[in-house]
Amino acid sequence: MPSTTHGTQLAETQRAPGRTPSASLPVLIIEDDAMLRQLFEQVLRQQGYQTETAASEAEAERFRQQQGLAHLALVIADIQLSADPHAREGYALYERWTAVHPTLRFLLMSGNPGSQALPVIQAGVVRFLAKPFAIRDLLDAVQALVGRP
């Protein structure tokens, strides 16, 4: 669970070129832990953001098929969405979705220290939060990527 006492490690990135920040568009939260997913949704909604949620890679893909991705301001995705310690479903979504929608903003998060070694995170191509993190760090990252509602 996010902590208010732990620091955060963010990959420093600039906003995607050619895309105007818009906090009025929905934020898709992809997190397999129901408690964290609900917490992130509640916190973002309290700050005025519209949210959508998915609990798995399959749910996220269903969302994409039904609603598309172009209307999203941001995707917040846990890198590991299953019990398989080697799976990186959230990262796979990032790779597939940004290949088709290169200006789609992502915020990746993980409690696995090995995730920080992913090339796009090390290069600062995508924002990253290491779990546990403070809720303020989540809000700061979201605001930096899409602005305030």
**Per-residue pLDDT averaged across 29-55, rounded?**
97
Long-range contact list for 99-105, CB < 8 A, 24+ apart? 100/69, 101/69, 101/70, 102/16, 103/16, 103/17, 103/18, 103/19, 104/16, 104/69, 104/72, 104/75, 105/15, 105/16, 105/19, 105/73, 105/74, 105/75, 105/145, 105/146
Residue 130 pLDDT grade (very low, low, confident, very high; cuts 50, 70, 90): very high
The domains located in the chain, with CATH, are 33-146 (3.40.50.2300)
Mean residue pLDDT of the chain comes to 87
Q: Each residue of 86-114: pLDDT tens digit?
A: 899 999 999 999 999 999 999 999 999 88
Q: Check whether 1 has a pLDDT greater than 90.
A: no
Q: Which of 84, 83, 89, 85 is nearest to 30 (CA)?
A: 89
Q: Check whether 6 has a pLDDT greater than 80.
A: no
Q: Check whether 82 has a pLDDT greater than 70.
A: yes
